[in-house]
Each structure stands twice: as C-alpha cells, then as structure tokens.
Amino acid sequence: MSATILDGKQLAADLRADIATHVATLKAETGITPGLGVLLIGMDPASTSYVTAKETACAEAGMYSQDVRVPAATTQEEALALVRRMNADPRIHGILVQLPLPKHIDESAVIDAIAPEKDVDGFTPVNVGRMMIGAPCYLPCTPHGIIQMLLRAGVQTSGSHAVVVGRSNIVGKPVAHLLMRKAEGGNATVTVCHTGTRDLARFTRQADILVVAAGRPNTVTGDMIKPGAVVIDVGVNRIADATRKSGFRLAGDVDFDSAKEVASLITPVPGGVGPMTITMLLYNTLEAARRAAGASGTASPSR
C-alpha cells in the first residue's frame, strides 16, 4: 500500500485562481483593491523568505501589498506605532505581523494592537473568541488550509477520530477546534496530544485523521499510524544535508518514507500544507476588503 499524495501546490494554485477572479470582480464593482500590510521585524532568513512569497502571491492575485521591514532593534513602541498606522490606512484591509518577533518585544501586545476587522491571521483575542463560539471571524490560515485540503480530498471528517499532535495557538489548538465544530469539515471526535502525552503512539494509532504539528522531525513514524489513516504533516524542519547546495533539506514532523506505506492520504513537505497557508491569507484579505466595501455574498472557497 502506498498513500496518495495530497498536492498542496496544485490545490493552492486552483484556489488562488478563484481568489484572483473574486478580486477582479470586487475591483470592477466597487473600485476597491484588497490590500495586505505586512510587518517584518528583523532579518530572519525563513521569515524574510516567507514575507517575500506573500508579496509575490498578492501581486499574482491582483492585490495591493505594503511590506514594512524594520531592524531587529526596533522597539516595542515603534512596532505598535507601525501597527496602528496600518490600522488607520484605508488601503490596507488585512494586517500580518510576521512571527516570531525579537525577544524584547511583547508578541501578545503587538498582536492585540491589530484591529480585529484587519486581523487576517485570526490571532487576536476577538477573532479567537469568535471562532470558539462559532461566530463569523477570520479563521487562522494554516488550520483553515488544512480543513480545505480535507474537504477537497473528500475526507469524511464527521464521525471520524482525529488526533492532533501539538497544542500551539497557531496550529494545534485552532485545528483541533475546527475539526470538532459542528460544521462542514468538522464534527470529528478530537484527541490532542503534546509533549506531556505518555505513549504517543497509543493515540496516533487510533487516528482516522492524524494532524502532526509538533515542530520536531520524525515525531511520528509509519509504525505509529493506523493503516489507511489520512496524515497531515504541518512541520517544516531544516535538516543539515551536505549534498545540497543550500546545505540543508526540508523535512516534516512525520517520517514520510515509512508513513506513506501505511497511510491512505499524506501531505508532503515541502509542497503540502505550506502553500495553503498563504492562500488562505489571501482569502481572508479578500474577505476583509469585501466587508469594508459592504459587498454582498461571500468569497468562500468553492469546491
């Protein structure tokens, strides 16, 4: 048995084409161009590469982007002032603060400063709270992308046992909530595992749907997976590899080679969940622009 690969690149490309069509329609009907403001503090290579990819994605979708890059020595007061400036800018409908921030800056304070109506990452307490009670909100991008992948692959989440490995505020907790909510792509029975879980394999072997966001390579191996399970690998780890020009290779949190022989569906790294994260950021930014314009209907991803 060899798993079918869930191609995040192709799915993201299809969704981005749909989003670009909605952007063009919004421009034609209202004269408004959806705008994304990105704040990058410091020059972390991974963060810089990610922000550049977001800029490119905005341009391809016909969106406006404002990229603010400042030194790592930027003070918290200066960071808050930059966020407030974006809050007040009518050209910007969505704001993204690239994480992690330098240690001297209070991450929570900066995130909390984002106007909830422009919080397209879905990280502010207002949007997190609205998500928890099922009210309209911007869903966090990576968890939303995972749900879209499951839906479009025809995975039956309702009644399934989903196991999430990881409890971060960015992925683990929100994806667990989305999988258990009473809605399309949800209604699963969810178990959350973490660093304090004893005998992790006992839980992962029970999963019909296994989402691994542990932040550590090879956390899950093939012998820890139920035959026929759907495996979503969220991890992106840099592994030293002297045979490559870059000096490293990317690997997920799942041992892909052993897992693909057991799972029915599996996401690769790279090319799995990653492309969906930026795609759902574009979707949220478009939706924020529609709300600002008072546009009727929804730009919900079509399946």
Q: Is 199 a catalytic residue?
A: no
What's the mean pLDDT when you consider all of the chain? Answer: 94
Angle at 151 between CA 268 and CA 169, to 5 degrees: 70
Q: Which two tokens stand for residue 262?
A: 């057991």
Q: Where in the sequence of the chain do the CATH 3.40.50.10860 domains occur? A: 31-116
Which pLDDT does position 218 carry in this prediction?
94
Q: Which two tokens stand for residue 12?
A: 């993201």
Query: Using the 8-state DSSP alphabet, how is residue 91 labeled?
Result: T
Query: Using the 8-state DSSP alphabet, how is residue 223 labeled?
Result: G
The 10s digit of each residue's pLDDT in 75-111 is 999 999 999 999 999 999 999 999 999 999 999 999 9
Amino acid at 264: S
Quote the CA–CA distance of 96 and 183 in Å, as a whole number: 27
Q: Is 103 a catalytic residue?
A: no
Query: Is 298 a residue whose pLDDT tops 80?
Result: no
Q: What is the mean pLDDT of residues 211-232?
A: 97
Question: What pLDDT band is residue 246 in, cutting at 50, 70 and 90?
Answer: confident
- 141-274 in CATH: which number? 3.40.50.720
Is the CB of residue 101 less than 8 Å from the CB of residue 107?
Answer: yes
Quote the CA–CA distance of 93 and 285 in Å, as a whole number: 6
Q: Which of 54, 173, 226, 260 is catalytic?
A: 54
| Reported pTM | 0.93
The 10s digit of each residue's pLDDT in 135-172 is 999 999 999 999 999 999 999 999 999 999 999 999 99
Comparing CA positions, the residue from 96, 48, 84 lying closest to residue 288 is 96
Q: Where in the sequence of the chain do the CATH 3.40.50.720 domains occur? A: 141-274
How crowded is residue 169: how many other Cβ atoms within 10 Å of its Cβ? Answer: 12
Q: What is the mean pLDDT of residues 49-77?
A: 95
Question: What pLDDT band is residue 240 in, cutting at 50, 70 and 90?
Answer: confident
Q: Is 54 a catalytic residue?
A: yes
The 10s digit of each residue's pLDDT in 147-156 is 999 999 999 9
Query: Is 225 a residue whose pLDDT tops 70?
Result: yes
Q: Which of 10, 76, 89, 121 is catalytic?
A: 121
Least confident of 106-120, 252-266, 286-300: 286-300
Query: Is 297 a residue whose pLDDT tops 60?
Result: no
Fold of 31-116: Rossmann fold (3.40.50)
Comparing CA positions, the residue from 163, 165, 175 lying closest to residue 209 is 163
Q: Which of 98, 119, 253, 255 is catalytic?
A: 98
